[in-house]
Each structure stands twice: as C-alpha cells, then as structure tokens.
Amino acid sequence: MVPFALVDVFSDRPLAGNPLAVVPDADHLDDAVMARIAREFNQSETTFLLTPTMDGAAHRLRSFTPAGVEVFGAGHNALGAWWWLAGNGRLDRLGVWHQQLGDVVLPVDVAADRVAMRQEPARFGSTVPLVPLAAALGVDVVAAPAPQVVGTGAAHLLVGVRDRATVDAAAPDTAALRALLLAAGGEGCYVYAVERGEVTAYARFFNPVAGIVEDPATGTAAGPLAGLLHRHGLAGETSVILQGHRLGRPSRLEVRLDGATPVLSGRAVVSATGTLRLA
C-alpha cells in the first residue's frame, strides 16, 4: 500500500499548472517499481521522496517519466514535492532547506505562499541549424538568439519563434526532433516567443527523448531560458514565463537570476490524495 498525492504545480488552483504525482517514504521501492509506478500515473513526472545519501540534504528526490526515464534538475518535480512536504507537516519550519537531485545538493526556500529553488549555473552548449529544426517543428524559427542547448541541471534546446500564434502552431515531427536533440546533447525542446511588459516569454515544451509529448510547465527549461534571454539583452534579471495554455493548463513560472544561476519560484496546490496497491 503506497500513499501518493497529485500536486498541480505553477498554479494556485486545481486542474491547472503541471500535474505531478508525489510518492513519499519511497526507500523500499526499487528502480523498476518506481518506473512502473510512473507509468501507472502517466504524468509528465512522478517524484519519489527518499532518505538522502549526500551530506547536507534533508530529502532526496528521484523523478521518472511515464517512459521510465529518470530525469534530474530542479523543476516542477522538486517544487511540487516541497509544497507537499510543507503542507503535510514534514517540515518543522519554513525557510531554506537542501535537496539531493542526482549527485548534487541544491538549496530550496520554502515560504507559506511560494517555493523558490536554486538551479545549477547555466551551461551554454550546442547551437542547432535553423532549417532542419524548422522542419522538425513545423514552424519558422527566428535566427537570433540562435537555437541553443542550455542546461541548469537538465539540458534543453531553446528555440525562439515570432509570436504566441507561432508557438501554438508548432506540431513536432517526433522522430526528427528526437534525432536533432540527441545530436545536440539536449533532452527537451522549449519553443518560445519573447513578449513585452510583465510577461517575458510564452512557451511550449516537447521532450521526445524522455517520452513526454508535451509538458504544461517546465522549470528546468524556464531557468535556462531566463539565462539565455538575459545574455542577449532580451530580459532583465527577473523573468515571467507563461506555459501550458495550449493544453488548457495555464502555468506561470518566475525566474530570478543570481549571476548565471537561475532561482525558480512558483506556487502549487494539492488536488488529490490516495493509495496505490502494489499487491
């Protein structure tokens, strides 16, 4: 009997944002079972809470996609898990804690109305030619900034297009996009349009490498995007990124840059709890 919760992340109301399955007290589950549970929930990610194996961490987080692929980085997987921990009496105070994600330990700041997570410093990788990328996405791609792989824990290809309508029109050829991502060293593809005013960018995320058709809100892509836009003078030190609208799950991701390091923040809401029977 395995308890679980469904947490809608980067939203302040149920049935919006990015749904995450959270499984606490998961030390007794092996990798194969965790992968099967993630397939059962069929969310973009299922996060398991375990005892840390590295000094300084209060909790270890392991996250799997429905395809059984383990993914890393501080995104909606981590934010939703810490929101659940705070709301279920698992934290004896608000403030700064530390989480183990893979082989790194990163701080997370838990407040009553928000969770803020420090990602790894941005690493700028390969660029991808416009023509094959446009063909794989089914829309025109802008030349500047050039489509580039950027990682802050997970590496994603960031692809700028003209406007919201073009973002919404993207219809990826899964096989072609997957091949381009693997060749460039990217995991997923963040298609975005730069905006003016309070909103910095409007985006969609596709990850054929990890078996995610489309993700409603992607913190591990929002952090890199904030860094890329700031590097090219298209955003200041804070960014607001909207995602999930095309899927009917509007999400709001906020990023503050501390030098080259993104600090991702947002809200969440627990929308369901239950028990999974394994035998």
The yes-or-no answer on residue 45 being catalytic is: yes
Q: 97: which strand partners?
A: 108
Dist CA 99 CA 109 (whole Å) = 10
Query: Could you tell me how many residues make up the chain?
Result: 279
Dist CA 51 CA 43 (whole Å) = 23
Cα–Cα distance list, 278 to 32, 33, 34, 51 (Å): 13, 9, 11, 21
Q: 251: which strand partners?
A: 243
Tell me if 192 sits within 8 A of 160, measured CB to CB: yes
- SS3 of 186-208: the string is CCEEEEEEECCCCCCEEEEEEEC
Non-local (6+) Cβ contacts of 74 within 8 A are 99, 101, 106, 108, 117, 118, 119, 152, 153, 219, 220, 223, 264
Neighbours of 114 (CB within 10 A): 15
Catalytic residue among 40, 45, 120, 195: 45
Active-site annotation, residues: 45
